[in-house]
């Protein structure tokens, strides 16, 4: 089976650099020429702050939180009580920080925005991953992400136990209905795709019927997306495929339907809602002067 295929380097160093860039952009958006309210606080004052999870969640976004805090106070002390990727309980303290009171106040909203968004993505992903546990199916993300935060959201999918699909249009080939129509058919478009395989992490073709599936297999497709098929058709598709290609499901997948879809025997289930319809997790920061 194909593993995580995203072309971005999600090493700790690369993630830290990504977080620094995202945090700098977000802070500039929020602060502009200066934080008028934090300026009311004596610059010499120091403070401690605690971040609480207001609901159960899978914690995600530590590199972004730390980047936001350190860009405002390079000497800030940061202590995570719940590690990245670990579950937090409702009303549990997940993070303690100590530093310049002004810096903590200025960075608070940016840090929490990243934490709530990415924790929301990781938590939702983990819920889907748990729902298909024991099957062969991987839970996979899509390109339905917030503009400018795609890599951060795809990182959060990984933290939640999911698998990344392509990062963008540049790193893999995904042939959909309109590509097939514009190219003259399944066999023709796959032949054209063969000429760019050296540049692509993978080539995948979407099919809507069992007839198209057979065409794709005859043309030696290695990865096939089964679009909006019912359970009976999916089971038949798995039988016809007989392990020749990686089979992925897409279209209208919900938490209520995902287990039955996984039990058809497909390899992957891609879900736009992991990053598109995500509900931000609820956190709050409480600050105390020291």
Taking 80 as the threshold, does the pLDDT of residue 24 lie above it? Answer: yes
The string of pLDDT tens digits covering residues 264-275 is 999 999 999 999
Distance CA 141, CA 153 (A): 9
Of 75 and 195, which is predicted with more confidence? 75
Active-site residue, 176 included: yes
Taking 80 as the threshold, does the pLDDT of residue 198 lie above it? Answer: no
pLDDT at 3: 42
Distance CA 172, CA 164 (A): 12
Taking 50 as the threshold, does the pLDDT of residue 2 lie above it? Answer: no
Of residues 46, 54, 176, 235, which has the active-site annotation?
176
Distance CA 133, CA 208 (A): 27
Query: Does the 12-129+278-289 domain belong in CATH 3.90.1170.20?
Result: yes
Taking 60 as the threshold, does the pLDDT of residue 48 lie above it? Answer: yes
Of residues 55, 96, 227, 282, which has the active-site annotation?
227
pLDDT at 193: 82
Q: Where are the domains of the chain?
A: 12-129+278-289, 132-274
> CB–CB of 69/99 below 8 Å?
yes
The string of pLDDT tens digits covering residues 94-152 is 999 999 999 999 999 999 999 999 999 999 999 999 999 999 999 999 999 999 999 99
What is the homologous superfamily of the domain 132-274 according to CATH?
Aldolase class I (3.20.20.70)
Distance CA 98, CA 290 (A): 9
Of the candidates 194, 204, 136, 140, the one whose C-alpha atom is nearest the C-alpha of residue 169 is 204
Of residues 66, 206, 215, 248, which has the active-site annotation?
206
> 89: how many CB neighbours lie within 10 A of its CB?
11
Active-site residue, 214 included: no
Active-site residue, 109 included: yes
Task: Compute the average pLDDT of residues 60-73.
Answer: 98
pLDDT at 6: 53
Give the DSSP letter string of the chain: -------S--SHHHHHHHHHHHHHHHHHHHHTT--TTGGGS-TT-EEEEEEEESS-EE---HHHHHHHHHHH-TT-EEEESS-TT-EE-TTEEEEEEEEEHHHHHHHHHHHHHHHHHHHHHHHHHHHHHHHTTTSSPEEE--S---TT-HHHHHHHHHHTT-B---SSTTS-EEE-HHHHHHHTSHHHHHHHHGGGTTT-S-EEEEESSHHHHHHHHHTT-SEEEEES--HHHHHHHHHHHTTSSEEEEESS--TTTHHHHHTTT-SEEE-GGGTSSPPPPPEEEEEEE-
Of residues 46, 54, 70, 144, which has the active-site annotation?
144
> CB–CB of 76/97 below 8 Å?
yes
């Amino acid at each position: 089976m194909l593993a995580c295929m995203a072309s971005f380097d999600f090493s700790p160093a690369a993630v830290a650099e990504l977080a620094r860039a995202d945090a700098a952009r977000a802070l500039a958006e929020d602060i502009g020429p200066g934080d008028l309210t934090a300026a009311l606080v004596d610059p010499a004052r120091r403070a401690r702050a605690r971040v609480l999870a207001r609901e159960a969640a899978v914690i995600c976004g530590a590199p972004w939180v730390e980047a936001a805090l350190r860009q405002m106070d390079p000497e800030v002390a940061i202590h995570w009580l719940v590690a990245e990727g670990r579950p937090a309980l409702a009303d549990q303290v997940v993070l303690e920080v100590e530093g310049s009171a002004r810096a903590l106040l200025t960075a608070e909203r940016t840090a929490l925005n990243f934490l709530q968004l990415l924790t929301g993505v990781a938590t939702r992903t983990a819920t889907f991953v748990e729902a298909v546990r024991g099957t062969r199916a991987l839970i996979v993300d899509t390109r339905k992400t917030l503009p400018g935060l795609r890599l951060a959201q795809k990182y959060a999918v990984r933290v939640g136990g999911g698998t990344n699909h392509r990062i963008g249009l540049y790193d893999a080939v995904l042939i959909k209905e309109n590509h097939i129509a514009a190219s003259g058919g399944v066999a023709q478009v796959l032949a054209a795709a063969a000429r760019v395989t050296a540049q692509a992490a993978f080539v995948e073709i979407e099919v809507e019927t069992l007839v198209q599936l057979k065409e794709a297999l005859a043309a030696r497709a290695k990865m096939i997306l089964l679009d909006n098929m019912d359970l009976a058709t999916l089971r038949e598709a798995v039988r016809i495929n007989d392990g020749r290609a990686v089979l992925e499901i897409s279209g209208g997948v919900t938490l209520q339907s995902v287990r039955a879809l996984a039990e058809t025997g497909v390899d992957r289930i891609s879900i736009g809602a992991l990053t598109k319809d995500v509900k931000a997790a609820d956190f709050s920061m409480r600050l105390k002067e020291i």
